[in-house]
Structure 1
Amino acid sequence: MGLKGKLISSVEVKCGGHSIHDIFHAKTHHISNISPSKVKNFEIHEGETIEVGAIVEWTYNDDGKDKTAKQVIEAVDHETKTITWKIIGGDLLELYDSFTIITSCDHHWTTWTFLYEKKTEDTPEPLVLLAYVLHVTKEIENHLLNQ
C-alpha cells in the first residue's frame, strides 16, 4: 500500500518555542501580516479562539497560486505547547484523503508533524508544504526577534 505517511521536521527558533506557540494559539490572525508573501488570510469560522472544535481557514500562496486549507482544531495542549489541526476542506484534500498537522514547541524548537493518507501511489509526499511551513516559522521568528 504505502498510502499513509508521516513527516516530521524540527527547526531551531532563537525567540523560544513558547513565543511561536503563542503566535499560533493566541495571535494567529497576525501571521498574514508577519508573512504576507506566504499567508494571505486567516479566518475563524466557528469558535472565538484557537480552541478544540474551532473551525479556521487559511488562504495561502503556494508557488504563485492562492490556495485554501479549512481546518478543525482537534487538540490544544498548553503544557506541551501543541496544537493539532485536521484538514476538513481546501486544496490539500484534492491530493490526500486525510491530512493532519501538529505543531509543537519547546525551549528553542518548533516541530511540525504531518500525518496524511495519499489518494494514489503517485501523489507526492508533502515536502513542498513542509518547506513552506518551516519558511513561515522562520519569518515569525524574525518578526519576534525584531520587536
Structure 2
Amino acid sequence: MSLTGQVEAGVEIKAPASTVREYFCSKLHHVSSACPDKVQSVDLLEGEWGKAGSVIFGRYANEGKSDLSCKVIMEEIDYENNKITFKVIEGNLLDQYKSFCCFFQVTPKGEGSFVTWTLKYEKPNENVPEPAAMLQLCVDVTKDVAAKLIPQA
C-alpha cells in the first residue's frame, strides 16, 4: 500500500482568473479579512509577496480546532498558467504527514474562472487519513475570497 497520495477538488467562481491568482500570490495576507472564521492571519516571514522562495506563516481553523498553524514556502509561481505551489515546511500538517504540498491553479472560464486545489502528501503509516478536511478548507477559503473580489449587486 502506497503511503503517498493526492486529493483534488475544484470550484467555479465568478472572479477573473488573473485577479484570483494575484490575490493568492501577492495579497494572501488579506485572506483573514475575507474569511476570519477560517484564517486568522497570514504573515510574510522572508522574501516578497508574489515571489517564489518567499516564506509565509499562517494561523487557521479546521475541524473544530482554532489554534492551527503552518509555515510554507511559495516554491513555484507560474504566472502564465496561473499556478502556485506551496510546500509546507512546519506546522500542524507535518504533525500528521511526512510531507505536504498544496498546488493551486486557476483557469479562465467564461466571465469567471475555475480554481483547482491539489494536495499531495506522504503519510507516515496507513492509519493516517487523507486530508479531506484540509481540501475542503481550501475550497471554502476560495469561495470566500471570490465573494470578496466580486462586488455584490
Aligning the two structures, in what range does the TM-score lie when normalised by the shorter sequence? over 0.9
Q: Which runs of 4+ in 1 moved over 4 A?
A: none
In the alignment, which residue of structure 2 is the partner of 1:144?
Answer: 149
**Aligned ranges for residues 79-94 of structure 1 at < 5 Å?**
79-94=80-95
Letter of the structure 2 residue corresponding to residue 118 of structure 1: K
Q: Could you report, residue by residue, the CA deviation over 1:32-82 in whole angstroms, capped at 9, with x for unpaired residues?
A: 111110000001111021311111111001123210110111100100011
Letter of the structure 2 residue corresponding to residue 132 of structure 1: L
8 A contact 1:16–1:109 mirrored in 2: no
**Aligned ranges for residues 1-147 of structure 1 at < 5 Å?**
1-62=1-62, 63-107=64-108, 108-146=113-151
**TM-score, normalization: structure 1?**
0.95
> SS in structure 2 opposite 1:113?
strand
> SS in structure 2 opposite 1:20?
helix
For structure 2, the 5+ residue unaligned runs are none
Between 71-80 and 47-56, the greater mean CA deviation after superposition: 47-56
Cα RMSD between the aligned structures?
A: 1.1
Length, aligned pairs only: 147
**TM-score, normalization: structure 2?**
0.92
8 A contact 1:96–1:117 mirrored in 2: yes
For structure 1, the 5+ residue unaligned runs are none
TM-superposed CA distance for 1:16, in Å, is 2.2
8 A contact 2:27–2:49 mirrored in 1: no
> SS in structure 1 opposite 2:98?
strand
